[in-house]
Chain A
Amino acid sequence: MATGTESPRQRGGVHTGTRAAITAPHLRTDRWWLAPACTAAGLLAFVVYSTWRAFANADYYAAPYVSPFYSPCLAENCHAMRAGPNADLFGGWWGISPAIIILVFPLGFRLTCYYYRKAYYRAFWASPPACAVAEPHRSYTGESRFPLILQNVHRYFFYAALLVAGVLTYDTVLAFRDQHYRWGHMGLGTLVFLANIVLIWAYTLSCHSCRHIVGGKLKHFSKHPLRYRAWQFVGALNARHMQLAWASLLSVALADLYVYLVASGVFDDPRFF
């Protein structure tokens, strides 16, 4: 997107000759840096945690719970999960953690998400760091060229994310069993999984691509009343896309952490019935 950096005095932008001669790259007096700093800290924390868990290849199944990072589990080296989300598509040659196979899709979905793009462009690439705060890059082509033109694959990842959300819904249904696979039971983990799947679906359906597909692409809503209603519903979710992005990111990490703690024997899943 942008290349090279140099001091403000050397470059154009707000220091272009015809503009008001003001030396400072910006004159904001509020704490404009706080939001990008918090964003960077939150995303970095998740990246560190999820990288550790994705490569750990251990403690991701504690019957009847399977970590959302490892579901569906598509390699032969997956933990045997009775009636669980196993599908040995990759066979025995896959030697590393099976989480890597599936995490590509939710990762890609979030990486190309319109909200996260705003978040990391601001927080990590300072493009711009905040509104009316000069960015440090000499040139800028945005998403008009490779590699950032690839952000347009968000639509592909949205379709994949629907499938992953479907599998996680299945996992949540499986969480209504006990550790002996008997149905009609519920534990604290079931609640964690329920909260997580609600947030995952809310985030996935609030996606801008979803909003466009269900109705936004239409020119005449009046000719498609059902799609208009769907567009309104998704639009209401979409207005909270940022909040849902963070809430679902946190919930998926917490669901994985819960499984990890139970699987590693830190505590037993409290059973309600």
Chain B
Amino acid sequence: MKIGILMLGLAQALRLLRLTNTAFRERFAEKNLVVQLKVLDCGTARSITFRDGRVSSRAGIHPAPDVVLSFKNARVAAKLMSLKPDHRFNIDAMKNFTVDLDGPDELTVWFAETISMVKALGWRYGTRLKGGITRYTGNTNGGPVFVYVKDGRIVRITPIEFDAEDGETWNIRARGKSFSPPRMATVSPHTLASKSLVYSKERLLHPMKRVDFDPKGERNPQNRGISGYERISWDEAAEIIAEEIRRVKRTYGPGALAFSHSAHQSWGNVNYHLSSGFRFFNLVGFTKVHSNPSSWEGWYWGATHHWGHTMRLGNGEVFGQVEDCLQNSEMIVFWSSDPEACNGVYAGFEGTVRRQWAKDLGMTFVHIDPYHNETAAWLGGKWIAPRPGTDPALAQAICHVWITEGLYDKWYVENRTTGFDEWADHIMGRSDGVPKTPEWAEGETEVPARDIRALAREWGKKKTYLGAGAFGNGFGGACRTATGAQWARMMVILMAMQGYGRPGVNMGNLQSGAPIDFNFWFPGYAEGGISGDLQFTADGPITYQRIPHIMTMNNVRQQIPRINFPEAITEGHATGYPTDVAAINSQFVPYRYPSPGHSPVRMMYKFGASQFGTMNNSNRWIRAYQSPNLEFVVNQSIWNEGEVKFADLILPACTTFERWDIGEWGSGGGYAPQYYTQNNHRVVVLQHKCIEPLGESKSDYQIYVEIAKKLGLSALFTEGMTELDWCRRIWEGSDLAQHISWKKLLKRGYFVVPTEKEHLRVETAYRWYYEGRRKTVPELQPLPADYTEKFLEGLQPQSGKFEFVPESLKKAGDPDRPPVNVYIPSWEGSKSHDLLAKYPLQLLSAHPRYSFHSQADGKDGIINDIEWHRREIGGYRYLICYVNPADAAARGIRTDDVIRLHNDRGEVLFAAFVTERVRRGVIRTYESSALYEPIGLPGRSPDRGGCVNLLTNHRSQIRGGSSMAPNACLVEMEPWREPVATVPVAAELAEV
């Protein structure tokens, strides 16, 4: 009886809404359908009819319903129809077949969205300001923002300044001073360019099909990157894709469809590729293009064996270093570490103010980098410029001085480490007859031996933080070269000799380890979002029990190592080593493509367009794209750039400002845990849909819905949820719900997590280890099974201690990673004599300072106007390339000459900037160009867009790993005298 009333109530509510609410009146006019609700057990039933904008209902069974929603019994029906859904119950009901939905996807999705509209009645969002402006909130890869909108158009995008309502800010007292960060969220440069990118003329606004691609006839794969495009409808696009998915499954079987995503995306836990992307592709089955740990390389393949941390990909703990460094440390050595240019990936300029404090406290700074980097220029201090790739030799000489002069922590070495004697034998030359003296290292590095000795002595006497890589405990730079694993190993070896965990002695450069609240739970983007993916996200252990949703599983046991994707396509096979965070030894286990019993890839679904700019030797990608082995290529992107122009079908995605989402600033999660410790405040943002999607572009979630409808998967994919419903579910399941109501969050748009009370702050990283206590820092790693003695005692390596000569490498037998970390010169570097005769310059390509990977580069945005990013010469904006004055003079190159960099792999044009800031024999530019603009045929002519990775070697750092080394690259340069064609041959979008 009660359930009958509920059904009637729903129908009556819909009728009432038609009379009182314009939005519902318009909604009901969209479709004609009959929805049948019925309870199988007791037979209670009611049909609701939508016809010509009117709503009617009648008890009982309708003779010809379009959609049938049936419940096993009244209890299930009552719970599922409740206005306060219990998602755990709902999923359980689906699993046990006590609820069923039948009907065409187009209508079931429409009905579910209509019910969502009912639930969302009365929801208001945004803050009304004067002059017809509404202020919304957004979240970007460079920080959270306010978005000011007037008449449906973005006026401005600004950082968020906190007010009295927002959570309080921490304070650190150090050496008689008191430090507190500004009460705002700083943002990276590219974030401030966001508006110019939303309205970029390079936006993709309609689905497009390559003009000479016919899925039922000639496909002309050889013309990818050359032919133009014609506009098609969303329905046509979704139908072509769905049919191609069906066709490759039918024809080739599991594995024929590959999904490949770029490393980064627009922010948001719902739309992220690790969220709705994995959810959708798990539902259709796909060959995963497996990402190597691209920014971590040397840490994962090298440092993990000495100190563990596989679940951080070899980076270290991030607790309390800000306070400890300011209070106790005297010196910071920045080794291949440029935090002011790297912004901690997602962290705006949050670490900057702390380094200002360190400067105010009179700390000493040393910068080791072949380029006098932005942090060195700003903070000042000694600049040491080794030849690229020789850093491990420099580090070994520091060990030599420490051992010779007794300047290391002997107690720590004796009590907290293993294998030191064997290591010392190597350093002192007792095992190979070559003492690793500063003079020896000078021969390798060209750093004066006197400087190495002075640095080693200062370091051995002063309490020192080692900032290695952009975060200070990993990431970027020298870990991305042929000697990257050796270098990262040396960084942790140095700190083990100094006793990391001792007050004032630790890894860090003040970028990580702010004293914030570590217990407030909100999922990071790699913690699954709505994916339900158990295999490649942290959804299972971290998110599912708080935010129940349907779990999904890929049916394909086949992967392609991303670096070798082109060979997998053109040659048909590839071998890779996994990015597997579970344990130290799991990285030794190779996988092969194709997998036994699986189909080679025939269809490629590419999400994003950055790989020409970010993957090594990327002319290979062009050859792969033009291969007949790829029968169908889809690209889903926001802008028309890079690889987009090599697709058969282009799907226009909208920006983060045009869709709903939710996410915490800078929180990666997964193998990037606690990245929010870079931020001075934890900020969670309900990312408003600030404006309508431009043109016909759609959110990533909606794009998947469109395809899912064609495959009958939409109910499973959506769970009847809109993106905003998913945001609410994430709010509800996270700790946010305990602090701020949904309606308030919806309106205000962001929440600042109150800082941790001073007496509850997490202690400094590794202090527990230094003092020989049970582990007290809050991290869910390593796996319990990876503790050797007792749970929470000791480190992850076999001995439970820091291992100077790792047991894991003794068993691996990789000739490129001998257990004793001997210096093996780069395979493309200072000792490559034959190659040097032809290509005498070492090319360094750092993560870009102003753009974010390929985001915000190109696209006609305002980053292009920064002359330290791109420089306009003859009407074209070339990417900047820094050249040493002597190297420039020898080739007749001056600032703002167009220069051609080339080697056997490719040729790329740049704008030269001649500067003393780069050491002789080195040229330095930025990777991640968004533009690939060949001046002739793609793959066979110079690129003027600045895709430096056309030049880099795709050889793995080490034979026993899948490990990229873009900074091991020899080139020659010369002035470019030839005129550049004004219209590249590469495809221009032509609307037909």
A joins B in a complex: no
Residues in chain B within 8 A of chain A (CB atoms): none
Residues in chain A within 8 A of chain B (CB atoms): none
